[in-house]
Amino acid sequence: MIKNYFRPKTIDELSELKLKTKGYLFSGGTDLFVKLRAGTIDTDTVIDTKYLNSRKIEITGNKLFIPINATYSELRMFIKQNNVNNMLENIVKTIGSPMIRNRGTPVGNISNASPAGDFVLASYLFNAQVIIEPTSRKLPVKNFIKGPGKIDLRENEFVYGIELEILNDYKFYFEKVGRRNAMIISIASLGLLLKEKDNKIKDIRIAFGSVAPYILRDENLEKSLIGETINEELFKHIAIEYQKLSSPITDVRATKEYRKSLVHNLVIKAYNNLFEKVVKE
């Protein structure tokens, strides 16, 4: 039962409160409330992050900085107004509903560290760095997330923001498979970024959600694809390799066998869509 509610204004204040009370941070609350009601979190203290004086969403050099408290709706607006990393829009618009996006935050998604988290997947694709205060630690998202719901954070620390690479001239494909068309936790998801030159791969990044205990991305496999000619054979190879790397589970949403076939088929589908092998209406 919650007895204390704090509204710290500075980084130090927030950090001291978190250390002293072991309380939970409340940003958008869209994950926190679910966990409180399900009883997976039991705490007497809530630390509201909204009153913290923090930086705003901004472009610094070739990075897009997303601070604590910035909502999905705010991020969408920023992306549109500044014409930066527009690919993100395709991911963000699938998260929850407009009401959820008015509350939920990318930093909350990363802190929650679900292997189904759509912004976690986006962060992997954009080589995100997680910025942690008050220690000013900065680490790649793949090192920050240790497993489902597990993050590399000390008791006095919190996530201050995330920094994504700004990418131009990439082809992009994102698909989230679920049991309905909207407001879904995905059964599996795929995000793919590809830069080509003379029909050969210059850079490729592939990430899957919900098919392993963490977001699945294999940079060695990606490296081995650089310079290869883009054709169906190559994507069949990618599909088979990722199928081998995936380790899905069976849960209420789908069986592991179904998820395995999705890994394969989503890669082929991405190829067909990106290289217009699909007849559009």
Ligand X SMILES: Cc1cc2nc3c(=O)[nH]c(=O)nc-3n(C[C@H](O)[C@H](O)[C@H](O)COP(=O)(O)OP(=O)(O)OC[C@H]3O[C@@H](n4cnc5c(N)ncnc54)[C@H](O)[C@@H]3O)c2cc1C
Q: What residues make contact with other proteins under the rule CB under 8 A?
A: 1-5, 7, 26, 29-30, 33-34, 37, 46, 48, 50, 73, 96-100, 102-103, 182-183
Cα angle, residue 27 at apex, residues 253 and 118 outer, rounded to 5°:
35
5 binds, among ligand X, other proteins, none (CB under 5 to 8 A by kind): other proteins
Give the span between the Cα atoms of 67 and 131, in whole angstroms.
Answer: 9
Contacts 24+ apart (CB under 8 A), 132-139: 132/157, 132/158, 132/159, 132/160, 133/11, 133/15, 133/157, 133/158, 133/160, 134/11, 134/12, 134/15, 138/163
Contact status: 105 vs ligand X (CB under 6 A): yes
Least CB distance to other proteins at residue 115 (A): 20
Closest approach of Cβ 116 to other proteins, in Å? 15
Which CB, 187 or 225, lies closer to ligand X?
Answer: 187
Is residue 214 part of the contact set for ligand X (CB under 6 A)? Answer: no
Residue 92 vs 128, nearer CB to other proteins? 92
Select the span of 111-119, 139-147, 250-258, 270-278 touching ligand X (CB under 6 A).
Answer: 111-119
- Asked if 85 interacts with ligand X (CB under 6 A), we say no
Enumerate binding residues for ligand X (CB under 6 A).
Answer: 24-32, 34, 49, 68, 94-96, 100, 103-105, 107-109, 111-112, 117-119, 158-159, 183
